[in-house]
Structure 1
Amino acid sequence: MNNFDLAVPVLSRGKHRNPRKGACFMEFASYLAGEPWSDHPACTHPLLAGVARDVNDCTTDAGRSRLAPLIPSVIGLTPEDPHVVPRVTARCIQQALPVVSQERQYILAVALLVGEKHLAALDGRPLDDVEPDSLAVLESVPSATKWARSFTARARRGTPDFARRTAPRAVSCAVEGISQACVPNPDERLYNLLTAAIEESKLWMPAPVQTPTRQEAVEVR
């Protein structure tokens, strides 16, 4: 495969040994970033990369080409702020919760409430304080939310590994749930989920360092 072929990517499901075998979303990202060929490149936050892989695999063949223009936007998105994981997870669950199966609603409602507790702790808010967007989507599925609140209240106390276990599993559950939901436009919903995750990740990137101009430097003196 030559450089022109890679410049106009044709995405396919799964992991590929090399470009000649095809490529998924994150494998093309690794190529564009100048990294070794991989679907787990260092150029993208691990959770966001997981969202992209899941969306790539769960989108239909007909709809997957629409994802290709988003590939450059994930390169360099490696925010380290602890808010990133629970917020990206929340954005994915918010997109999925109203439309996925009831079984998945119970799982996602629990994950959302746990993530909201993490956010509340980070912000110094009461642990039962839920941000408005999450509260609205939880209120749209009252049965699942009632069960999830009861479950989390009974859950053994401790510090679950939210970033490494709960968040990736919740994201995969959300993406798969949308792809299997009885809705007329799952590909559109998956596209919106990925763009929401990308935009949320951008919000937590550190501000670029501003180099003072010569005139500003003179004025400081």
Structure 2
Amino acid sequence: MDKLEMSVPVLSRGKHRNARKGACFMEFASYLAGEPWSDHPACTHPLLAGVARDVNDCTTDAGRGRLAPLIPSVIGLTPDDPHVVPRITARCIQHALPVVSQERQYILAVALLVGERQIAQLDGRPLDSMEPESQAALEAVPAAAKWARTFTAKAHRNHPDYGRRTAPRAVSCAVEGISQACVPNPDDRLFDLLSAAIAEAEYWMPYQKTTVEEAPKQTTRAR
């Protein structure tokens, strides 16, 4: 593989056998990390990698090149804190919920409420409490939020498949929903969603968490 070929990423949709056939976001990340060519490299948290693949594929050809500078930032982001999956999922849903189709709103509202309950349990807060960004997203879609609260109230409290199935599906639903939404700037919204997911993963890396805790005025989160 010619390193000169790879110096300026030209991103394209889907999975590729090698760089000469093209590359997606995470395939370039695997190359830069020195791993075998793959769109599922070990250098990135699985859910964050899923967000990156979805955003790569749902961004238009004209807008995809803007994602390239973000590639190095996902390398080495492998936090193992249990907050990571529900937090990344929440970030994606918060960006999508106000603009996606009504059908997707119902799906995403349920996933957001379930994830927020997991976060509340981890934080030792009341299960019906949630962070302001999630509350604002739900308030933007009152019909879906009302239905989701009724649905989740009747469901079992434990959701053992949340990290393995619910979160990845919710992330994909959010990304695809934005790409198909009747908004003038879907590529910009997808870029912002991926940036927010990366920032969330960075926050839960051990070094980053220490840094934030030493400067509490820079975050609004309750610790």
Q: TM-score, normalised by structure 2?
A: 0.92
Cα deviation for residue 168 of structure 1 reads: 0.3
Residue of structure 1 equivalent to 2:18 = 18
Q: Percent identity of the aligned residues? A: 81
Residue of structure 1 equivalent to 2:123 = 123
For 1:156-195, what aligned pairs fall within 5 Å after superposition? Answer: 156-195=156-195
- Structure 1, unaligned runs of 5 or more: 209-221
Residue of structure 2 equivalent to 1:59 = 59
Residue of structure 2 equivalent to 1:89 = 89
Residue of structure 1 equivalent to 2:151 = 151
For 1:70-81, what aligned pairs fall within 5 Å after superposition? Answer: 70-81=70-81
Aligned residues: CA RMSD: 1.2
For 1:136-147, what aligned pairs fall within 5 Å after superposition? Answer: 136-147=136-147
**How far apart are the structure 2 equivalents of 1:52 and 1:40?**
10
> Runs ≥4 in structure 1, deviation > 6 angstroms?
none
Residue of structure 2 equivalent to 1:107 = 107
Cα deviation for residue 159 of structure 1 reads: 3.0
**How far apart are the structure 2 equivalents of 1:159 and 1:40?**
25
Cα deviation for residue 156 of structure 1 reads: 3.4
- Structure 2, unaligned runs of 5 or more: 209-223
Residue of structure 1 equivalent to 2:35 = 35
**How far apart are the structure 1 equivalents of 2:7 and 2:80?**
30
Cα deviation for residue 91 of structure 1 reads: 0.4
**How far apart are the structure 2 equivalents of 1:158 and 1:90?**
18
**How far apart are the structure 2 equivalents of 1:133 and 1:58?**
24
**How far apart are the structure 1 equivalents of 2:157 and 2:124?**
19
Give the letter for the 1:45 counterpart. H
User: For the pair shown, which has the larger CA radius of gyration, 1 or 2?
Assistant: 1
Q: Secondary structure at the match of 1:207?
A: helix
Give the letter for the 1:110 counterpart. V
**How far apart are the structure 1 equivalents of 2:159 and 2:111?**
14
Number of residue pairs the alignment of both structures matches: 209
